[in-house]
Amino acid sequence: MRDNYDGHAGADGREPKVTQQNYLVNSRLSKLLKRGVEKYLVEKKAVVLDIGCGRKPYQPFFLGKTALYIGIDIKPGEFVDILGDGKNLPFKESCFSACLCLQVLEHLDEPKTVIEEVFRVLKSGGLLYLSTHGNWPIHGAPNDYWRWTEYGLRKMLANFHIEEISRCGGPAAGIIQLVELFIPGRSLGKIIITLLNKLEDLSDNVAWLNEKLPSLTTNYLALARKGNIIRV
């Protein structure tokens, strides 16, 4: 799969710079999502739905695997194909190979309804790529309603077969990430943020450090499938 997506929108989320305040979450989410597409989406002409698509920053991860990539959002934009909030998706049952709902769930006033709609429009064996916040400051107020745990996500996705739920960084990354959000991203602040990000890139895989810290997760990525697929 490609590593260079020059010319595609949304690079600040898909390929965050080490100077960005949200680098730790976004870089890990991007890596996990790309791996999840490579590992689980085997269909070569997939039809993909992106709920809350914005500028479709992660569409490049599906290059070479999709026949159609549709974006739906509540706000009009250059990359938005359909206006809507996900509660009443204007599609027939079982028509999508995969659905993305990335950093949207916390902003939905009826998240269960949207997840049920996703289940309806996915084909049997279709994939849901779902990311959302665990511990995170209020953002997008007043439309910021929920925070999640792994157990809450498993309950929400009870009708799906869950392939995996991953943390976008361990407790050490989570603690540093939350601190960085309150550091001014200018001049000296940007230097401090960069140093912290580089330090965390080195230490995130130090198992003993994360085991000693309290359980804290800033962001999750869940990969789930419609139907329990038996692999041979």
Could you tell me the domains of the chain?
A: 12-225 (3.40.50.150)
Give the long-range contacts of residues 63-68, CB within 8 A, separation 24 or more: 63/1, 63/2, 63/5, 64/1, 65/37, 65/41
Q: What is the pLDDT along the chain (232 residues), one digit of tens a residue?
A: 345 566 688 888 899 999 999 999 999 999 999 999 999 999 989 999 999 999 999 999 999 999 999 999 999 999 999 999 899 999 999 999 999 999 999 999 999 999 999 999 999 999 999 999 999 999 999 999 999 999 999 999 999 999 999 999 889 999 999 999 999 988 899 999 999 999 999 877 777 877 888 889 999 999 999 985 544 3
**pLDDT tens-digit series, residues 58-114:** 999 999 999 999 999 999 999 999 999 899 999 999 999 999 999 999 999 999 999
Taking alpha carbons only, the member of 92, 94, 51 closest to residue 74 is: 51
DSSP state letter for 61: G
164 token code pair: 């995996």
- The answer to whether the beta carbons of residues 137 and 194 sit under 8 Å apart is no
What global pTM score does this model have? Answer: 0.92
